[in-house]
Amino acid sequence: MDDAERERGPWHRNLIVLWFCTFVAGMAFSEIMPFLSLFVSQLGDFSKQQVTFYSGLAYAADYAISAISAPLWGIIADKKGRKIMLLRASLGMAVAMGLMGFVTNVWQLVALRALQGVFAGFISNAQALVASQTPRKYSGRALSTLITGAVSGNLFGPVIGGILAQLFSIRNTFFITAGLLVGAFLLSLFFVQEHFKPVEHHREPGASRNPLAAFPNPTLIIVMLCSTMIVQLGNASIAPIISLYVQELMHHTGPITVIAGIIAALPGVSNILAAPRLGRYGDEHGSGKVLLFGYIFAVVMYFPQGVVSGVITLGILRFAIGISDGALFPEIQTLITKNTPVHLTSTVFSYNQSFQAIGNMLGAMIGGVIAGAFNYNAVFIFTAMMLLVNLGLILWLVPGIWKNNRSMAE
């Protein structure tokens, strides 16, 4: 579709519907996290170490499988359309989630978490559909707005999941979550429109077999995918230890769980507020400039988190991290969109999801190792240094990225 066709198309309605659907998907992913280890402990007579191990295994199974399956689904989406992938992902995850309510041992739970990873990809395909249908001059703000849906779902999911588990039991929460995913399936089926035009490609004799040859700037694509992994790795390394860090700062007294929950939610709040505005600025002045700001701001905000002495200061700094995330994730995806041929949009977004899943896996492991070897504050310092190295690689490998605001795929 050229920009004239996109302007006439239903891109705005798709954005609204898919914002709500990604909110539901993000909530479904996160709302079982607060009680996953509790559920594991109910499935057998386990020691504390065994509960920790099996909980980690169940947590990682989803991301491990989705890292492998996402690129395969992306290739199919570019050939058959993105809407059918939305339907496949939402219905498949609903089935997997519903079956979790019937499990009787931990291995069944791990297997179903892995099955959920097979059907993952709703959010990445929603992003690909919006990216392929939205006029390019609005792509930054559209993707930034869409991302706030998933972020909002992830933000409110643990709270909603905890309330549902308290009111209806853990098992019934799986059934309720499955019902919400069925709702996302129905909304996608009846209200999302896609004017999909598969593009046939015939390789010229002697043309390169390298799949990256189709991209006008393959180095940028590779660097952006790796950047997705590194940024997500940094976030995932913090998530498992944030409540323990809060407990340490509060000297093991007071309403620790309440304060930890508030501090954990603050980045999501600021992300929702900042991402659309930063996306709009990127569309007008250059996505690379917003990306550069995001990295510098993140590094400046992460370092002090490792040396704070109170939870109020930590809360302010965690709120600021949501602003940097609102600059980094949407602008990375916007730069990928503007430098990807339309017929490969789903493929590259699925690879982006795969790299994000790898970041989730590695982040949780690395954060635990660093916290165990040094202390909780070392995790924040490590994340700041890692993002600084990431910024240096971007400036070295993609020089002038902050100057170009035009699509290189046009």
**Contact 39/170 with Cβ under 8 angstroms?**
yes
Going 175 to 21 to 350 to 354, the CA torsion angle's sign is negative
Closest CA to 246 of 233, 259, 265: 259
Summarised one tens digit per residue, pLDDT across range 228-255 is 999 989 887 887 677 678 878 888 888 7
Report helix angle 345-373 to 122-133, nearest 10. 140
pLDDT for position 3: 64
pLDDT for position 135: 84
pTM recorded for the entire structure: 0.71
Closest CA to 67 of 295, 291, 240, 232: 232
**Contact 129/194 with Cβ under 8 angstroms?**
yes
Q: Which amino acid is at 126?
A: A
pLDDT for position 409: 42
Q: What is the mean pLDDT of each run of 10 residues along the chain (410 residues)?
A: 71 91 87 73 80 75 83 82 91 95 93 91 86 80 84 79 80 92 95 76 52 77 92 82 79 76 80 85 85 94 91 92 89 84 77 84 78 83 94 89 53
Q: Domains plus CATH for the chain?
A: 1-194 (1.20.1250.20), 214-410 (1.20.1250.20)
**Contact 104/64 with Cβ under 8 angstroms?**
no
* Residues whose CB is less than 8 angstroms from the CB of residue 339 and which lie 6 or more positions away in sequence, other chains included: 215, 216, 217, 220, 221, 407, 408, 409
Structure tokens given for 7: 């302007």
Q: Residue 23 and residue 94: Cα distance in Å, rounded?
A: 15
Closest CA to 73 of 113, 1, 122: 122
Closest CA to 284 of 144, 138, 127, 135: 138
Q: Residue 133 and residue 76: Cα distance in Å, rounded?
A: 18
pLDDT for position 408: 42
